[in-house]
Chain A
């Protein structure tokens, strides 16, 4: 057949194994529809599949190991700035990404649970459909079995609606077969979508043509998963009564296909975390500030604001992961050194974190956790501002210009190790929490990130360092960063306050 009648697609992958694995699954699905696949190896190692059915031939070339290739297509380079998805299907003719996939073999638990969420955000911000294949049940290092967190799924639901693009979490495995790709619907559902895209290409149709049914089924599973799991993690889920509303999966599917329903067809305030007075009565009654594990002036005020009903937290189920004393001492030394290389600040700021601040745990390690909450949802920015200026008087008068009545989210990361906050899992946490708790809601929240143990100088970089994934993400998703010693940084304006 001539070159003109062949549609060419490229499957880019983190490794050749993943790329080839994916196309072989697609070939197996399409074989059931009468499409024959042949494979050859370009240069002795680049798999190239040709799918031949009743329409145009489709040629899919697999490129593993993104960064090994040049020139890397610009659309792919742009997505990689936000983290590397495992698979990207790319149309070299239109120079557009058709969809991207993240897949993971293990259940990330604890603060790792959100570690890939920045990739989800990175794809959706440029309206690239994203499928996240993750095991629902995984083996933990303690030998037990853990179930996936709800947050990636909630984030995917919110991004789908905000971006009118599919963002889907697919689960595989079950409690008896943890981490088994062959169990559950996820793997098959993923490759059926990919096969559908290839079949559409052969017919000259748009990539997501005919995907409403499979998407509705996938959103049904996502909503059911959230319904089954949310109370294990949080005390309150807005719209929980509507999670099994019969029409809801179809509303998501249509929205994902860029045919959104009228706003009044959605359940009211679904997955929108409200202001304090609109919380259920029992949840309001349970909101009380808690003692800190390690002292911190600002976190103490944030906890007090919960007691005073100016803010609320999400759950009482978070824990602490103490660290060795020698690591803490070494990290403080490095932080001080970085802090001292900063600009001259007015009023003066000092990095005062000391090893003696960190209380010893029963095991002889030392707690770095301040508050047990890492997310505070405030009704008004003015209350956050007051807490910040009380804890750090040097910032008084420097935080003007923001809308005082707008709701805000304060995210706290207690990490002490230099540089950690710009990598996994913290970038994923910020991407997920900012998305889930309101940055794109009809009444958007400010996002404030507080790093009590980190030196601000890490966020102040020259143009040559701007490719850092964490900074890219924080520049887009946060309004203010607060660091140890009470120094604030706005990444949008590159101002140090």
Chain B
């Protein structure tokens, strides 16, 4: 291979995590937000595993960066991604991220009659934040981020949104450029506790299965 270096962008960080999700048999990617292509719709699966459209975002509407589904744990993850933790901390961004989670939780809970969504309308929703970096974050930094996120989530909170926030850190190794994924769950004060945190983390670790 030619020797190309890369800058860890939001697109690359998100893609790295998606690669991990694809290797986890109990999860599937229902929506991802690259700039173009046939990925602009939320897709579901019917009882036979056939894929179909569940929801289409209106033009110019705010949308998350990833929606993941785990039927085994009856859980959805709605994830906002940025190329750095600092960018997720910006006031306007964190407000938007929380708003998108609540709005989408509401929308998806109303799709019980969609053949490709059905019972997933009743799943718990795990909010998530994904970022890239070259230095591992500290627990304190993650907790500060989740605390701010939780404050915003509390506004107009939807009952399906759970109290655990999934934090995904994509780290670029210096020298090799290998991307590692760190997964963390941080609880905040409000929300349903319908999701068992350890089970969720375990289901997203393909190498431990």
Measured CB to CB, the residues of A under 8 A from B are: 8, 10, 14-18, 21, 41-45, 48, 61, 63-65, 68-71, 73, 86, 92, 103-105, 141, 181
**Shortest distance between the CB of A259 and any CB in chain B (Å):** 33
B7: contacting residue among A14, A68, A71, A141, CB under 8 A: A68
Contact of B34 with A14 in the complex, beta carbons under 8 Å? yes
Q: How far is the CB of B67 from chain A (nearest CB, A)?
A: 14
A434: min CB distance to chain B, Å:
25
Q: How far is the CB of A85 from chain B (nearest CB, A)?
A: 11
Q: Could you tell me the distance between the alpha carbons of A16 and B12 in the complex, rounded to whole angstroms?
A: 8
Bound: A292/B181 CA distance, A: 60
A8 close to B39 (CB less than 8 A): no
Report the Cα distance A63→B3, complex, angstroms: 12
Q: Are B4 and A44 in contact (CB under 8 A)?
A: no
Task: Count how many chain B residues have C-beta atoms less than 8 Å from C-beta atoms of the other chain.
Answer: 28
Q: A69-B4, A70-B4, A70-B5 are in contact. Are A103 and B36 (CB under 8 A)?
A: yes
B9 and A86: CB pair below 8 A? Answer: no
Closest 8 CB pairs of A and B: A15-B34, A16-B15, A45-B16, A65-B11, A44-B179, A17-B34, A69-B4, A43-B178
Q: Which residues of B contact A (CB under 8 A)?
A: 1-2, 4-9, 11-12, 15-16, 19, 32, 34-40, 59, 176-181
Residues of chain A lying within 8 A (CB to CB) of residue B37: 15, 17-18, 21, 86, 103, 105
- Closest chain B residue, CB of each to CB of A70: B5
Query: Which A residues are CB-close (under 8 A) to B40?
Result: 105
How far, in Å, is A41 (CB) from chain B's closest CB? 6
Q: Which residues of A contact B176 (CB under 8 A)?
A: 43
Contact status B5-A69, CB under 8 Å:
yes
Question: Which B residues lie within 8 Å of A61 (CB)?
Answer: 1
- Give the interface centre of B5, B7, B15, B16 by most chain A CB atoms within 10 Å: B15
> Which of A18, A45, A68, A73 contacts B34, CB < 8 Å?
A18
Residue pair A68, B19 in contact (C-beta under 8 Å): no
Cβ contact within 8 Å between A105 and B7: no
Contact yes or no, B11 A45, CB < 8 A: no
Q: A43-B179, A44-B178 are in contact. Are A64 and B4 (CB under 8 A)?
A: no
CB-based contact A15/B2 at 8 Å: no
Residues of B within 8 A of A18 (CB): 34, 36-37
Contacts of A63 in B (CB 8 A): 4
Give the one of A8, A61, A69 with max B CB within 10 A.
A69
A42 — which chain B residues lie within 8 A by C-beta? 1
What CA separation (Å) do A65 and B37 show in the bound complex? 14
Would A105 and B12 be within 8 Å (CB), given that A41-B19, A44-B19 are in contact?
A: no
In angstroms, Cα B6 to Cα A22, docked, is: 22
Tell me, rounded to whole Å, the shortest Cβ–Cβ distance linking B3 to chain A. Answer: 9
- In the complex, what's the smallest C-beta–C-beta distance from A28 to chain B, in angstroms? 16
Find out whether the CB atom of A8 lies under 8 angstroms from the CB atom of B11: no
Bound: A402/B9 CA distance, A: 49
User: How far is A141 from B180 in the complex, measured between Cα atoms in Å?
Assistant: 41
Please pick, from A68, A70, A71, A181, the residue contacting B12 in the complex, using a CB distance under 8 A.
A68
> B170's closest neighbor in chain A, by CB?
A45
How far is the CB of B36 from the nearest CB of chain A, in Å?
6
Residues of B within 8 A of A48 (CB): 1
- List, in ascending order, chain B residues with CB within 8 A of A181's CB: 38
Q: List 27 A-B contacts (CB under 8 A).
A: A10-B2, A14-B34, A16-B11, A16-B12, A17-B15, A17-B32, A17-B39, A18-B34, A21-B38, A43-B176, A43-B177, A44-B19, A44-B181, A45-B15, A63-B4, A65-B12, A68-B7, A68-B9, A68-B11, A69-B4, A69-B5, A69-B7, A70-B5, A70-B7, A103-B36, A103-B37, A105-B37
Chain B residues lying within 8 Å of A71, measured Cβ to Cβ, are: 4
Contacts of A43 in B (CB 8 A): 176-179
Min CB distance B55 to A, Å, is: 14
CB distance from A340 to the nearest CB of B (A): 33
Find chain B residues with CB under 8 A from A10 CB. 2
How distant is the Cα of A16 from the Cα of B39 in the complex, in angstroms? Answer: 12
**Nearest-CB residue, chain A, relative to B40:** A105
B5, B6, B35, B178: which contacts A14 (Cβ < 8 A)? Answer: B35
- Docked CA distance A10–B7 (Å): 18
Across the two chains, which residue of chain A brings its CB closest to B180? Answer: A44
